[in-house]
Chains A and B, each alone.
Chain A
Amino acid sequence: MEGGTLLQVQDLVLGCRGRPYPLVGRVSFRLRAGEIFGLVGESGCGKSLTGLACLALFPPGVKPLSGRVVFRDTDLLSLPEEKRRKFRGRHLGLIFQEPLNALNPVFTVGHQVEEVLHLHRGLSGETARQETVRLFSEAGLPDPELRLRNYPHELSGGMRQRVMIAMALAGDPDLLVADEPTTALDVTVQAQILELFLELRTRRGLSILFISHDLAVIREVADRVAVMYAGEIVEEAPRDELFSSPLHPYTRALLAAFPRLGTRKLEVLPGQVPPPGTWPRGCRFAPRCPEKISLCVEKHPELKEIRPHHRVRCLRV
């Protein structure tokens, strides 16, 4: 998977009005064309804010303090909002955990996808309807024609997530940001939605920024993985390398604490992720790190390329 760079996030720092400390920072990574890039970490480490920032979206009060988000040749953060919206409509799609919050309960799901097709691709009438049916079937909805007239609450969680995926595909995007898209689903449904993401990547050559707190889910879908801790990436590597030879002490501790089939003993990592505003000055993982040395408390490590394509933020690696 050696596609060219599609999206580049550079030294991104996010802050919040009324708070003197950053929520995320500084984050840099590249997403290649046609790859699934997994962003994994425990809650509050900044995955969602980073994912939204890739679409130049910011929750109320949150704003970029520095850095760039470059899609092909366009720096999204320097565009005015009107242009950003157009850009999103044509190139970017967003899928998150609970589709019920994103779907309008008073309109049929068919109508909602047709709206998007009208807005971003100028389709209407029978053409829009046919394209909606095609998108529904691409998203794996059974009986796509019948689904057009369903309201969101008439569908199961898995089917609603398929509608969300169809809607995200309606603008024919190059990049999808999927934030915990299977976290609310049952395991057997999750397995099917994960396969759908893999299929879409292959069929459409889509790039996907796949965000999850679940290491097993990331292991299943991602080509490359970045592990976040306290607002920054601490390790980034191709999937197999990350899971078979993790180098950062946090990644290793996280994997040892994660139950898999056949796990006999879970190794406990004491403590919890420090929230923004309480990050230690040196290495942010130092208070919990079994391998820290005195230098770790003073010096904040840089993300360094240790091997080709494998970056680690640790003074001892």
Chain B
Amino acid sequence: MTVLELREVSKSYRLRGFLRQGPELQVLAGVSLSLKRHEILGLVGESGCGKSTLARLALALEKPDRGEFLFLGRPYWRLPRRERRGLRPRLQAVFQDPAASLNPRMRIGDLISEPLRLQGASREEARNRTLEMMKMVGLPEEALSRFPHQLSGGQRQRVALARALITHPEVVVLDEPTSALDVSVQAQILNLLLDLQRRFGVSYIFISHDLPVVLYLAHRVAVMYLGEIVEMAPAADLEKPGLHPYTELLLASIPGERRKRPVIGEPPSLLQRPRGCVFHPRCPEARPICQREKPPLRRVSPEHFLACHRR
């Protein structure tokens, strides 16, 4: 069953210019994506490719310019306000820097219980559930009355997780949740994420620039380049041949593995989105057609989609 779906969504921002309005920056260009119940969908791509914008759309924090956002089968932005408000808490987020997303003046106990209190839970119930959540994410009870700055980065991320899960949401969107953490702490949080996903039966959209991390966690992976999804496949399929040339480039870029092909070029700015296939200026396999025609996202096997003229 699909819990969340983005259908052909686009999003642009008007850049501020000096005196005049600046150019329009199209960040997402017709992106489609769906998330199944109990699924971990990994979203990978380089900086500025639109991952975080996609996250904000999937969290209903922003409205797409075009396209549809469906949550639990309902067209979110076409629902009456009251209904939207009822759905919001069932979507939760965890960001890279918990120091920035956790109110520094609130105590840990209040931070974790706040979403529940907002739903009208009693003080007693909120306290019990908070203690239960703290145990599940591995926070000591003493942390209850501490402030975020008194905790380590890893512990703050545990707080963010407890806060996100306390209301038993349907979906949690995690945007680079371990990118600022040390290796040993990252492993703790990754394994905790897997454990919590199973316990709560929740679905994740897990966003990261780090492909090995995404592949460790995700059931399915979507690869983004310049505001488009160029490939979507079960994680296991990324070990097989026949991938999108950009996915191959990402795999070849992973340090410390034996490099199978040269790595060239840098991702261009969104302001200079190439015509035709967005990847053609960097693609070693580009042909004239790639400059003229945009390849559609095609299904190549039941669960595997990619957008390339040559695959």
Contacts and interface: CB of A to CB of B under 8 A. Distances in A.
B250 A188 contact: yes
Contact of B188 (A258, A262, A270, A273): A270
B209 interface: yes
B273 to A, nearest CB: 16
Interface of B, helix, strand, loop or mixed by DSSP:
helix
Contacts of A260: 212, 256-257
B190 A186 contact: no
A51 interface: no
A267 to B, nearest CB: 7
Nearest to B268: A156
B263 A192 contact: yes
Interface string B214-253: 0110000000000000000000000100000000011111
Nearest to B251: A261
B72 interface: no
A153 to B, nearest CB: 13
A219 B258 CA distance: 11
A267 B187 CA distance: 7
Contacts of A261: 211-212, 215, 239, 251, 254, 257
B263 A188 contact: yes
B25 interface: no
Contacts, number: 109
B1 interface: no
Interface stretch (A97-105, A123-131, A208-216, A230-238): A208-216
Contact of B183 (A158, A159, A195, A257): A257
A218 B256 CA distance: 7
Interface string B174-191: 000000001111111011
A187 B253 contact: yes
Interface string B264-307: 11110000000000000000000000000000000000000000
Given A188-B263, A259-B216, A215 B256 contact: yes
Given A188-B253, A261-B251, 9 more contacts: A158-B266, A159-B266, A187-B250, A188-B250, A188-B267, A217-B256, A218-B256, A258-B183, A261-B254
19 contacts: A186-B46, A187-B209, A187-B253, A188-B249, A195-B263, A213-B183, A215-B183, A215-B256, A254-B183, A257-B187, A259-B212, A259-B216, A260-B212, A261-B215, A261-B251, A263-B212, A266-B187, A266-B190, A272-B184
